[in-house]
Structure 1
Amino acid sequence: MKLSDVVNFSFKALTSKKLRTSLTILGILIGPAIVVGLTGLTLGFSSVLTHQLFSSLSPTDIFVTPGTSTITPYTIQEISHIPGVKAVVPFYLISGTIETPSGPMATEILSISTSQASEVFPGLTLQQGQYPSPYSSYGAVVGYYIAHPQYPGQPTYQVGQTITVVMNTPNGKITKTFLVTGSFNEFSSAFADIDKALVVQNIVGSQYYGDQYSGLIVEASSVSQVNNVVNSIHNELGRSVSVTSVEQFITLINNSLSAVNGLLFVAGASSFIVAFVGILSTMFTTVVERTREIGVLRAIGFTRRGIMVIFVTEAILMGLLGGTAGVGAGVGMGYLLTTLTNSGGPGAGRGSAAASGGLGISAHITPVFEPTFIAEVILITVIFSLFAGIIPAYRASRIEPAVALRYEV
């Protein structure tokens, strides 16, 4: 019997029991749908994070934050003498709230040399106005979501207006009024949530924190020097500081998402096992119901092997249909989940990072579906179905024609 004839015969057998076949396929598709949908979502999230990290930060940036001791000018001097270091930019990161008519609004004040900020943050660009002068303690550039509020009712702060901020300092809460000299374009960074922050000159931070910096941004002379500089800082300063490069951010993200993918695989594997049991049950029931048909086929010349091939083919077809439908459902699930995530507002995707201020990632996430992975999911589904169909098919092939023809359903 030709393969095409076997496939045609098996397909007709499946369509003769439409409801049962449909329910079995529905059980099969759950596993592939979960795995494909959620994996596509995590890959899309990883792609967005990676893109935004490399587009907003320089790949030569290294972030140094306090470890067992504070960061002082001595720390800057030690790092500056390390071979491969191009620049060391200290900064202060001060938490606070903006006083608005509708109530306080959380913010951060990034106090840094603005002339160096544009070099270490290539993606940070002005939308309006200009940076305050180097010696100004009252000028500030506001983040995108301060100039363009996310929610109705929030005030806007444009160039030339004043903004009152309550800052948390070592001396307690201090209220300070800044003059808005400029505003930034939208900027997402693993360094700080600058879209909701104020950027001021480093003279502001030094007024309250003196020589105790929140951290340093070390710029390596080239990408190839980054790992050498990181290792040298560790050797020079040990655990007194914490060192993280942009490349390490990417590695951390990928490792975290790999762990998530592992959990998704376990969830999908559970669904595959359920599908395996469903196919097994369906095929055993089919063998019982078609006992007389098996007897007729054997009587007209079908061999035991031929009978086994027919039933195994039915199981494979159900796996192929279920896997394909599951992939389609998973793709739809991925886009649905990203739509729900993206509709949560411009800040819906924000998290936090311990590096030095927060992980301010905000962008439209598009799920990523790799063709190779999709093919692997379908193949795994078919293999599960094949194994589920072997035992019932073998049982069907062992039925004697004489017994089968006398069998009453």
Structure 2
Amino acid sequence: MRISDLIKLALMDLGQRKLRAALTMISVSIGVASIIALVSQAAGIQQSVVDTLYKLGPTTMFLTPRGYQITSVDVIRISELQGVARVIPIVQIPGSIYRSGQQVQVSLVGIRSSDLEALLGSIKILDGSTYPDAPVPVALVGYNIAFPPEQGGSQSIYVGQPLLVELGFGQFRQRIQLQIIGILGQYGSTPFVSPDNSILVPLDELMKILNRRSYSMLLVKASDINTVNDLSNTLNTIYGNNLQILTVQQLSETVSSIIGQFGVLLASIAGISLSVAGLGTMNIMMITVLERTREIGVMKALGFKNRDVLLLYLLEASLIGIIGGLIGIGLGIGGAQMLPSIISYSFLRTPQQRGSGPQQGMAQQGQVSLSYSPVIPIDMTITAFAIAILVSIIAGLYPAWRASRMEPVRALRYE
């Protein structure tokens, strides 16, 4: 029998059992959509972080202390090393502000105005201006602080407004008042410092407020890309385990590896739903074969060969996979576009909304920004679609084989 005739018969059979076929296709589509939507989030975050890293330049290095205090002596010492173009000291501490009656955890970052571009890649000012390189109580406010996502992105903080920031806990709690001089644009995911959830202040002012002489980290710019590895080795020789030294290339590779593995994990978890859909398809196909036993007997009596019956049921299973897979691709792409706002909102809620205390919230909030755009990998989309079809065919093999092995006489007598 011609394959085109068998396809028509398979479509007619599915049409006669619309509800059952639709439910089976939905289970397949959910599996495909889950894979596409989840993997696209991992790919989007990875792309966002890597892009941000490379905006800093391939000659950038991050130096963070390991039980060691970085002081101005270290800044001078490193500046004098061969191959060093620039050394940027940074102070970063957690803090909190009250916005609309709710406590919001933020990161307070002290950095010189002249070093902002080196840290951020580019200076995006939505309103106002940058601060002067002088110990004055002024601040640049991150995008998510001025336009909180949990309030629909409406502006709640303005240039010229005083801002009360609370530092520390308990008896060590300290309150400082800053004048907002500017509001930053949106940056998204960044390493070490999250501009969207940070308050940037003049370095000397923050050092004076905290009465400290050590820095949280150093950002070192090499003179050219060819000297980065040599400079990294030199710093390791000088400081040993006192400093953790990471280049942009190392950070990029680490981030790509971690998020890539996380993406595989997400795809595997989503793939379980496809396996469950396969079991559902097999169950439905078995019921269909039993219900159509007499019909199979009639087909064989009219000249259908075992191969024709086998192919007919495999085509039905394939069509379930194809249609369910196509629906899943559409749902996956749509879901991928919606998930970033949901994920960002869940990470950016206030501690009260999370149901946590202030100290717990301090660890959870204000350190990570998850503004990104999903990246839908074409290869993963094709793979998910192919797996949906393959799972459906495998699920239909046994029912199709049983149908093809039925004896016409017994099938016609079946009640």
The answer, yes or no, to whether TM exceeds 0.5 is yes
Contact 2:107 2:366 in 1 (8 A): no
Indicate whether 1:318 and 2:320 are aligned: yes
Indicate whether 1:372 and 2:387 are aligned: no
Q: Deviations over 1:246-281 (max 9, x none)?
A: 334433433333333233223223212212211212
Q: Could you say which residue in structure 1 is the equivalent of 2:357?
A: none
| Counterparts of 1:223 and 1:240, CA distance in 2 | 24
Q: Which has the higher helix share?
A: 2
Contact 1:140 1:179 in 2 (8 A): yes
| Counterparts of 1:278 and 1:147, CA distance in 2 | 48
Q: Deviations over 1:9-54 (max 9, x none)?
A: 2211221222222222222222112212222233233333334444
Select the residue among 361, 373, 377 that pairs with 2:369: 361
| Counterparts of 1:346 and 1:277, CA distance in 2 | 36
Contact 1:308 1:396 in 2 (8 A): yes
Q: 5 Å matches for 1:32-181?
A: 32-55=32-55, 57-96=56-95, 107-126=106-125, 127-132=127-132, 134=133, 136-145=134-143, 148=146, 150=148, 156-158=158-160
For 1:366, give the aligned amino acid: S
User: Unaligned regions of 5+ residues in structure 1, if any?
Assistant: none
Contact 1:190 1:358 in 2 (8 A): no
| Counterparts of 2:404 and 2:214, CA distance in 1 | 81
The 1:239/1:362 distance shift into structure 2, 3 A limit, reads: same
User: Unaligned regions of 5+ residues in structure 2, if any?
Assistant: 351-359
* 1:216 CA displacement: 0.9
Contact 2:106 2:366 in 1 (8 A): no
* 1:193 CA displacement: 3.8
The 1:121/1:374 distance shift into structure 2, 3 A limit, reads: closer
| Counterparts of 1:174 and 1:212, CA distance in 2 | 19
* 1:66 CA displacement: 0.9
Structure 2 residue matching 1:379: 3-state secondary structure = helix
Indicate whether 1:385 and 2:383 are aligned: no
Indicate whether 1:234 and 2:233 are aligned: no
The 1:292/1:46 distance shift into structure 2, 3 A limit, reads: same
| Counterparts of 1:19 and 1:100, CA distance in 2 | 51
* 1:106 CA displacement: 5.2
Indicate whether 1:302 and 2:308 are aligned: no
| Counterparts of 1:130 and 1:269, CA distance in 2 | 49
The 1:404/1:26 distance shift into structure 2, 3 A limit, reads: same
Q: Could you say which residue in structure 2 is the equivalent of 1:202?
A: 204
For 1:408, give the aligned amino acid: Y
Q: Deviations over 1:268-303 (max 9, x none)?
A: 232122122112122222222222222232233322
| Counterparts of 1:380 and 1:179, CA distance in 2 | 57
Contact 1:91 1:202 in 2 (8 A): no
The 1:210/1:348 distance shift into structure 2, 3 A limit, reads: closer
Q: How many residue pairs get matched?
A: 395
Contact 1:327 1:374 in 2 (8 A): yes
Q: Could you say which residue in structure 2 is the equivalent of 1:219?
A: 221
* 1:148 CA displacement: 4.2
Q: Could you say which residue in structure 2 is the equivalent of 1:276?
A: 278
For 1:237, give the aligned amino acid: Y
| Counterparts of 1:77 and 1:114, CA distance in 2 | 19
* 1:197 CA displacement: 1.0
Q: Deviations over 1:59-92 (max 9, x none)?
A: 4321111113222344335533544322112232
Contact 1:138 1:177 in 2 (8 A): no
Indicate whether 1:244 and 2:224 are aligned: no
Contact 1:192 1:358 in 2 (8 A): no
Contact 1:315 1:386 in 2 (8 A): yes
The 1:109/1:32 distance shift into structure 2, 3 A limit, reads: closer
The 1:275/1:153 distance shift into structure 2, 3 A limit, reads: closer
Contact 2:42 2:260 in 1 (8 A): no
The 1:399/1:216 distance shift into structure 2, 3 A limit, reads: same
Q: Could you say which residue in structure 2 is the equivalent of 1:402?
A: 409
Q: Deviations over 1:295-316 (max 9, x none)?
A: 2322333222222111111111
Q: Could you say which residue in structure 2 is the equivalent of 1:7?
A: 7
| Counterparts of 1:392 and 1:99, CA distance in 2 | 64
* 1:139 CA displacement: 5.0
Structure 1 residue matching 2:61: 3-state secondary structure = strand
Indicate the RMSD between aligned Cα atoms, in angstroms.
Answer: 3.7
* 1:200 CA displacement: 0.7
For 1:140, give the aligned amino acid: V
| Counterparts of 1:334 and 1:62, CA distance in 2 | 33
| Counterparts of 2:343 and 2:236, CA distance in 1 | 39
For 1:396, give the aligned amino acid: A
For 2:369, give the aligned amino acid: I
Q: Which has the larger radius of gyration?
A: 1
The 1:213/1:11 distance shift into structure 2, 3 A limit, reads: same
The 1:318/1:197 distance shift into structure 2, 3 A limit, reads: same
For 1:387, give the aligned amino acid: I
* 1:360 CA displacement: 4.5
